[in-house]
Structure 1
Amino acid sequence: MAPWLRLLSLLGLLPGAALAPSQPRAAGAQAWEPPAPELLGPARFALEMYNRGRAAGRQAVLGAVRGRVRREGQGSVYSLEATLEETPCKDPTVCQLPLSKKTLLCNFEILNELGKHMLLRRDCGPVDTKVTGSNETLNSVLPLLSKDPLPQDFSVKMASIFKDFIITYNRTYETKEEREWRMSVFAHNLMRAQKIQALDRGTAQYGVTKFSDLTEEEFRTIYLNPLLKEGPGKRMRQAKSPNDPAPSDWDWREKGAVTRVKNQGMCGSCWAFSVTGNVEGQWFLNRGTLLSLSEQELLDCDDLDKACMGGLPSNAYTAIKNLGGLETEDDYSYEGHLKVCSFSSEKAKVYINDSVELSKNEHKLAAWLARKGPISVAINAFGMQFYRHGIARPLRPLCSPWFIDHAVLLVGYGNRSDIPFWAIKNSWGTDWGEEGYYYLHRGSGACGVNSMASSAVVD
């Protein structure tokens, strides 16, 4: 079983629990004991996460709670079962969905590590949900995932495509039920990818990727960064834009200023990779040496950010400056989860003097990049779960600049078939996108690419 899938399994994310978390009981079928005091804090955090983004009149309240706690590394994992009460549904477009009933039974997994909470799992279903037989899983789930009519031979074709996916990405599932649930998620995602494809105005191709058996919620929870939409954080001074116009194209990969594509793994640490990529480029341009720097140092030692729960580039620059520099990846290797800080100033190989905020004008951004080096930016990751290659240009309402949730690195720009693009280094490994890179339309503010651009300063 692939390591990340094994971890998902340990966290309870893999089986088809989103339909029926654990054979939910009918309301009142069993009396629940008062919850242990240590469960109340994690339970309230889980409720807060459940209600995030909901209108005030649609927020749920916590009912009964029970669960257990187990130690994991430096923290504790809380496995909770809770009832939530929702106000009566008044919107007919919402009321027809199964999760709109008044009383829900939810399973939550919450990690508490060094005093910080992180939601690992959230599966909710109505209290009267019945678990269908394993042979009916795919047919019962798909109508809930899309209103589009399904062709009669859909299941046969999907089984073949899913088998190819399993072989390509070396997937192994523990049970038949788990496999069928993942196939249902995969089928829904394939339909979503087709809709994204139809609405894209660029040349991007969307389809099967290594993330195609993850639900949207799982993908966002594991790989994206919710803190970015809260704003840029610490105010930085405005950088002076170059006077010279931008060259017609530029690529720092061709000039030795960009390290290999890295992989953040099952951790929302994109902010750290975006910043280290920028600092790597700045050090190279000012000191002549390209060093692969430590993202793990930022996860462990940056007290302003939240490690795998997300962070802000502006905070990361401050942390690097306050710590006294960055160690290399060889000296402080990446593990993809929060550990106790073990930074050694004696091993620091790189330092920064300051950080700056860059112009939101994309012509000025291009000019700055060509003269000064790769740029840390944040974007809306809409569609990236299924991106394969080409220049993405989602419709603005679908990829709003107000919902930034992923930090990446601008390394160049140019044109393909007269379509202007930004070349973006991502942190999901080389088996995603164009060998780990994403290409996004340039000049239209696509997905907020110009909304949070910044750089370290190395004198």
Structure 2
Amino acid sequence: MAASSVSIRFLPCVLLLVVVVVSLDGGSAGDLGNKGDGGMMERFQRWKAEYNKSYATAEEERRRFQVYTRNVRYIEDTNGEAEAAGLTYELGETAYTDLTNQEFMAMYTAQLPLPLPDDEDDVAMITTRAGPVDATGGAASQLPVYVNLSTGAPASVDWRTSGAVTAVKNQGRCGSCWAFSTVAVVEGIQQIRTGKLVSLSEQELVDCDTLDHGCDGGISYRALQWITSNGGITTRDDYPYTGETGTCDRSKLSHNAVTIAGFRRVATRSEASLANAVAGQPVAVSIEAGGDNFQHYKKGVYNGPCGTKLNHGVTVVGYGQEPAGAGRYWIVKNSWGDGWGDHGYIKMRKDVAGKPEGLCGIAIRPSYPLM
């Protein structure tokens, strides 16, 4: 078969928009997806029905079947060798099993091209409506810090059981993960403080937050700063999600359903500090997401592979420990819909020896709102 290609729009979750060309070479006529592979075709059709998938042309469906087949074989091979490889999780079919890993990463992740100068801070900074202050005194002393860092955090936390976490949402093909993780932590502290769980507007951030870049990416602590300066954020019903960067509806900027007093960055870059923060409320973090295993994660405690090139914003909503074998984990809410991972969540290995930044860099850039 002649090689073909499609242009894939790069929709990052952190900063820039570029264009990536992904090869979809299907190989020879006797390659995957031939007419004799009826069992796999039946499986593909069931998968399409489960995830409501359809394709514009027969050619596109044939190519997607080839990608699906390769991915299924990778999933089965990896699961078969998981124990020998030391993996404490399983892969499985998700809503993205018809994408190559290159396509998946281009659509849903992006790497920061340059270090951010404000990531060089060595102290945990608190920002209020009056501006940034040192976490050790001044105006910060008037604001709540929910867990005493010297006494440590409880053994396990799950804010879902307390009703502080909304249902898993889907950012679609828009690099707005930063907005979803930001909204999730504001939803969380609102419920913890008032008992009311309100679904808030990611689209208001995508359209109106001038500190970030809409579908071209952003960072949660900047979005929290914008919410602080705006005086709050409205509901999702009032400003619905479209999955595209639009013109800010300025008439909604005063429709604040939730107001925050500021935010705190946990800049000590340690899992212990992150645990102390999560013990008080859900926390927005950045991780390195991507690679075949992350794409096809289904259940268990993910223990890599991954590095620390942060490319995706998610929300830590708790932590716990498996009864045997897999050890401690973070409970991470993603924004790729409930058709990915464990109903939209992933458990990530916690307290990795020799890695104060945590698995996939989870402890490098945590932040959370103050109320």
**TM-score bracket relative to the smaller structure:** 0.7 to 0.9
* Aligned twin of 1:171: 53
Residues 187 and 200, structure 2, Cα contact 8 Å, conserved in 1: yes
Give the 5 Å matches for 1:41-440: 108=7, 118-119=17-18, 122-123=21-22, 139-140=30-31, 155-194=37-76, 197=79, 198=81, 201-227=86-112, 230-231=114-115, 234=118, 238=124, 242-343=149-250, 344-358=252-266, 359-370=268-279, 372-382=280-290, 383-394=293-304, 398-401=305-308, 403-418=309-324, 419-440=327-348
Name the SS for the 2:166 alignment partner: coil
- For 1:392 and 1:432, the matched residues in 2 are separated by 14
Q: Larger C-alpha radius of gyration, 1 or 2?
A: 1
Name the Cα RMSD after superposition.
3.1
Secondary structure (helix, strand or coil) at the match of 2:346 reads strand
In structure 2, the residue matched to 1:450 is 363
Write the distance in 1 (CA, Å) between the matches of 2:16 and 2:345: 31
What amino acid is aligned across from residue 4 of structure 2 in structure 1? A
Task: Give the letter for the 1:338 counterpart.
Answer: T
- Greater CA deviation, 293-302 or 338-347? 338-347
Structure 2 residues without counterparts, runs of 5 or longer: 126-134, 136-147, 353-357
- Identity of aligned pairs, percent? 33
Provide closer, same or farther for how the CA distance between residues 429 and 233 of structure 1 changes in structure 2, counting only shifts above 3 A: farther
The question of whether the paired residues in 1 share the 8 Å contact of 2:333 and 2:344 is answered with yes
Aligned to 1:20: 4
Is the CA contact (8 Å cut-off) linking 1:211 and 1:219 kept in structure 2? yes
Structure 2 SS opposite 1:346: coil
Number of residues of Structure 1 aligned to a counterpart in Structure 2: 331
Q: Read off the aligned partner of 2:181 and give its amino acid letter.
A: S
TM-score normalised per structure 1? 0.65
**Secondary structure of 2:198's match?**
coil
1: CA distance, partners of 2:9 / 2:108? 17
1:317 deviates by 1.7
- Describe the shift of the 1:189–1:243 C-alpha distance in structure 2 as closer, same or farther (beyond 3 A): same
Query: Residue 381 of structure 1: SS of its match in structure 2?
Result: coil
Question: C-alpha deviations, 1:249-281, integer Å up to 9, x for none?
Answer: 111111121112111112121111111111112
Q: Which has the higher contact order (CA 8 A, sep 6+)?
A: 2
Q: Is the 8 A contact 1:205 1:388 kept in 2?
A: yes
Distance 1:111-1:404 versus aligned 2 partners, 3 A rule:
closer
Task: Tell me how far apart the structure 2 counterparts of residues 292 and 414 of structure 1 sit (CA, whole Å).
Answer: 26
CA distance in 2, matches of 1:20, 1:162: 22
TM-score, with length taken from structure 2 = 0.79
